Chain A
Amino acid sequence: MSAYSITEPSKRVKWIAGILVITYALVTIVPILWIFATGFKTPPDSISYPPKVIFQPSLEGYVNLFTTRTRLAQEDLDALPPPRTWYEAIVRNRNMVIAGPSRFGERFVNSVIIGFGSTFLSIFLGTLAAYGFSRFKVPLKDDLLFFILSTRMMPPVAVAIPIFLMYRQLGLSDTHLGMILLYTAVNISLAVWLLKGFIDEIPREYEEAALIDGYTRFQAFMKVVLPQAATGIASTAIFCLIFSWNEYAFAVLLTSGTAQTAPPFIPTIIGVGGLDWPAVAAAASIFLLPVMIFTILLRKHLLRGITFGAVRK
């Protein structure tokens, strides 16, 4: 029999909390699991009703995602030598041959370049700006900070047309640089505000100690402030990456060829020879992976980052 405690939740409360958390986790994770599962179904399985939970796994979705295919008449197929690779065999079963690689690889690489590039740039500029705002006397500091925040007060798409025109004039349409700059411009206000909060929490004495110990301010920043701000930088980076990785509207509007990212590309898969749900699901699965890995790697920081400053140590 344990004593009644005000701060410790009772057993019943713990049970209820546990059930709620598990229910919520299931609700959010089932669609993702369904996408992963669909990626390994055959096209007929993917649209069968009632939906199949247990099915014969197939890599057809992935093969279709990475290739373009041509349908051939039966006599032409018979005339071909037997398929040399497993993926040719899969395609041949559907009376098709591989015509070449699809564009998904390039689009994915574009997403990586633009997503990580803009995240890096946002964090780099954001950290420097946040440090300046946190440590130095900046004239009109509060107004500047409010101005920076105000860039987030409307949905970015609201300025889509001016940006579209501007980018056309500047030759930034459909370029990696253009997309990196655009996502950085959107992310930087968030980065400055979040990082300023984190840097404010780092006592100035650490830097002062480093100055006294014979280091320059820049060395103190690099060796003392940055390691201390790692948590904040990591969680800010995740937020920036999630935005630029998932961004759809500007990507549709401003990219079509060389710099097109994966989000506007994935829906176009549907159009190739009917609704190829396994290929779409395979694309979505692959697309989810980098952010998932990035978040899992940094999740310790993320958790600490979100609750940072809540309790004074």
Chain B
Amino acid sequence: MAEIVIKNLQKKFGDFTAVQSSSFTIEDGEFFMLLGPSGCGKTTTLRMIAGLELPTSGEIYLDGEEVGMKPASERDIAFVFQMFALYPHMNVRKNISYPLVSQGMSRADVRAKVAEVAGILGIEDILDRSVGGLSGGDRQRVALGRAIVRDPKAFMMDEPLGALDAEFREHMAEELRALHDRMNATTVYVTHDQLEAMQMGDKIVVMNHGLVEQFGTPQEIYDKPHTMFVAEFIGSPPMNFLPFDGEVKPGATTAKLDGQTFAVPQQHEAASGKLVLGVRPEHVTLSDSAKYRGEVLATEYLGTTQIITLETGHGPVKARTSSAQAAKVGETVGLDFNSRTLTLFNGSSGKALKSTLNEGSFGNG
């Protein structure tokens, strides 16, 4: 198993820059998520790590060794494709043993190893079937089997759950995570599904337009977004943005939105002009005593919680409250924000202003 270090990695396809100078470190044994919308460069990054794409510039270290220009076959990395890419002309057993055959392993050893892997994945009964008739979940398991059979240095997974039914995805995600915990293998996992990333990942890299937006644990990324993109991409519903004109000075503990003052975490950075106050829906509470008012536009009942959409002086704000909270459409109510969780953003650059809340997390990435 291995540590993977990415340094200033860049990939251009002609004039199009798919990945712009990314740097991050994947520690040994980590379940690492590359998260972003489609076209953000996450799959290209993964393919560069695996050796299916050569970087335009930058370095990739696998266990301290620079492998950026090595062919995929010499990197000892396994890859699980989105559509699984099981060899259609071979049965399950041959598919799983194929990577071992290339190493010149003896037939008896191959058989034993395949049996062991089949045992781990619970697919002993389908070993002699052709891959054509398998269910999605079984194909997924065979693809995993082909990946783990040769104990590679790391696993790359390109949206492996994307081709599965929603119902089954949940189950497979658990199975994958359990498999990872059992093998303790460094895993790099590409997804566009923020829930999947939060649920399974030890660390997440959020990418957009080929740039690394933020790199950290799921909690850090959720609670301390470094950019408005991350704040909006992660969380459902996303973070509320209240745009305003104003200024903050280092040491300030309040922000003034058109005469309305909100307590915020102590700021460490000066900024003025177009600013944005960010607040997660669950940190908005309805309170009659609050001065900041909004009109209830809609309520969505979600079982234990509900989403209340309010129209405020700074645009719509969504609040996630307990279902017990009474709210009627058309009513005007007061809004309170949990002051310790607020983030101020520079409205033009989209970057978060440094504060007591997020200061520590800027060290990463």
Which residues of chain A are near B89, meaning CB under 8 Å?
A: 227-228
Say yes or no: A211-B52 contact (C-beta < 8 A), given A203-B83, A216-B73, A228-B89.
yes
Q: Please state if A208 and B85 are interface contacts (CB–CB under 8 Å).
A: yes
Q: Please state if B87 and A224 are interface contacts (CB–CB under 8 Å).
A: yes
B79-96 with Cβ < 8 A to chain A:
79, 81, 83, 85-89
Which residues of chain B are near A213, meaning CB under 8 Å?
A: 73, 98-99, 102, 146
CA–CA, A208 to B72, complex, Å?
A: 9
On chain A, the number of residues with a Cβ less than 8 Å from chain B's Cβ atoms is: 16
Which residues of chain A are near B81, meaning CB under 8 Å?
A: 205, 208-209
Q: Is A206 part of the contact surface with B, judged by Cβ < 8 Å?
A: yes
CA–CA, A188 to B343, complex, Å?
A: 66
Closest chain B CB from A77 CB (angstroms):
65
Which residues of chain A are near B51, meaning CB under 8 Å?
A: 211-212
The residue in chain B whose Cβ has the minimal distance to the Cβ of A211 is B72
Which residues of chain B are near A224, meaning CB under 8 Å?
A: 87
CA–CA, A211 to B102, complex, Å?
A: 10
Q: Is A146 part of the contact surface with B, judged by Cβ < 8 Å?
A: no
Which residues of chain B are near A210, meaning CB under 8 Å?
A: 87, 98
Q: Is B78 part of the contact surface with A, judged by Cβ < 8 Å?
A: yes
Q: Is B71 part of the contact surface with A, judged by Cβ < 8 Å?
A: yes
The residue in chain A whose Cβ has the minimal distance to the Cβ of B52 is A208
CA–CA, A206 to B81, complex, Å?
A: 9
Q: Which of A212, A216, A219, A227 is in CB contact (< 8 Å) with B50? A: A212
Which residues of chain A are near B6, meaning CB under 8 Å?
A: none
Q: Please state if A209 and B87 are interface contacts (CB–CB under 8 Å).
A: yes
Say yes or no: A215-B78 contact (C-beta < 8 A), given A203-B83, A209-B85.
no
Which residues of chain A are near B86, meaning CB under 8 Å?
A: 209
B247-285 with Cβ < 8 A to chain A:
none
> A181-218: contact bitstring with B at CB < 8 Å (1 yes, 0 no)?
00000000000000000000001011011111111100
Which residues of chain A are near B99, meaning CB under 8 Å?
A: 212-214
CA–CA, A272 to B72, complex, Å?
A: 68
Q: Please state if B83 and A205 are interface contacts (CB–CB under 8 Å).
A: yes
Which residues of chain A are near B236, meaning CB under 8 Å?
A: none
Say yes or no: A214-B85 contact (C-beta < 8 A), given A208-B79, A209-B79.
no
Closest chain A CB from B187 CB (angstroms):
15
Closest chain A CB from B66 CB (angstroms):
19
The residue in chain A whose Cβ has the minimal distance to the Cβ of B75 is A212
Which residues of chain B are near A203, meaning CB under 8 Å?
A: 83, 85
CA–CA, A213 to B83, complex, Å?
A: 16
> A215-234: contact bitstring with B at CB < 8 Å (1 yes, 0 no)?
11001000010011000000
Closest chain A CB from B103 CB (angstroms):
6
Closest chain B CB from A311 CB (angstroms):
16
Q: Please state if B102 and A215 are interface contacts (CB–CB under 8 Å).
A: yes
B318-341 with Cβ < 8 A to chain A:
none
Closest chain A CB from B92 CB (angstroms):
14
Which residues of chain A are near B72, meaning CB under 8 Å?
A: 208, 211-212
Which residues of chain A are near B353, meaning CB under 8 Å?
A: none
Which residues of chain A are near B88, meaning CB under 8 Å?
A: 206, 228
CA–CA, A73 to B78, complex, Å?
A: 86
Which residues of chain A are near B52, meaning CB under 8 Å?
A: 208, 211-212
Q: Please state if A206 and B87 are interface contacts (CB–CB under 8 Å).
A: yes
The residue in chain A whose Cβ has the minimal distance to the Cβ of B50 is A212
Q: Please state if B77 and A212 are interface contacts (CB–CB under 8 Å).
A: yes
Q: Please state if B73 and A212 are interface contacts (CB–CB under 8 Å).
A: yes
> A52-85: contact bitstring with B at CB < 8 Å (1 yes, 0 no)?
0000000000000000000000000000000000
Closest chain A CB from B100 CB (angstroms):
9
CA–CA, A216 to B87, complex, Å?
A: 16
The residue in chain A whose Cβ has the minimal distance to the Cβ of B79 is A212
Q: Please state if B73 and A214 are interface contacts (CB–CB under 8 Å).
A: yes
The residue in chain B whose Cβ has the minimal distance to the Cβ of A209 is B85
CA–CA, A214 to B150, complex, Å?
A: 10
The residue in chain A whose Cβ has the minimal distance to the Cβ of B158 is A205
> B58-76: contact bitstring with A at CB < 8 Å (1 yes, 0 no)?
0000000000000111000
The residue in chain A whose Cβ has the minimal distance to the Cβ of B71 is A211
CA–CA, A219 to B89, complex, Å?
A: 15
CA–CA, A230 to B239, complex, Å?
A: 54
A281-309 with Cβ < 8 A to chain B:
none
Closest chain A CB from B286 CB (angstroms):
51
CA–CA, A206 to B131, complex, Å?
A: 13
Knowing that A208-B72, A227-B89 are A-B contacts, what are 9 other residue pairs whose CB atoms are under 8 Å apart, sorted by A's residue number? Answer: A208-B85, A209-B87, A209-B146, A212-B72, A212-B78, A213-B102, A214-B99, A216-B71, A228-B88
Question: Which residues does B use to contact A, with CB under 8 Å?
Answer: 50-52, 71-73, 77-79, 81, 83, 85-89, 98-99, 102-103, 146, 150
Sort A-B residue pairs by CB-CB distance and give the 9 closest, nearest first: A205-B85, A214-B102, A213-B99, A211-B72, A209-B85, A212-B79, A227-B89, A205-B81, A214-B73
29 A-B interface contacts by CB (under 8 A):
A203-B83, A205-B83, A206-B85, A206-B87, A206-B88, A208-B52, A208-B72, A209-B81, A209-B86, A210-B87, A211-B52, A211-B73, A212-B50, A212-B51, A212-B52, A212-B73, A212-B77, A212-B78, A212-B79, A212-B99, A213-B73, A213-B99, A213-B102, A214-B73, A214-B150, A215-B73, A216-B73, A224-B87, A227-B89
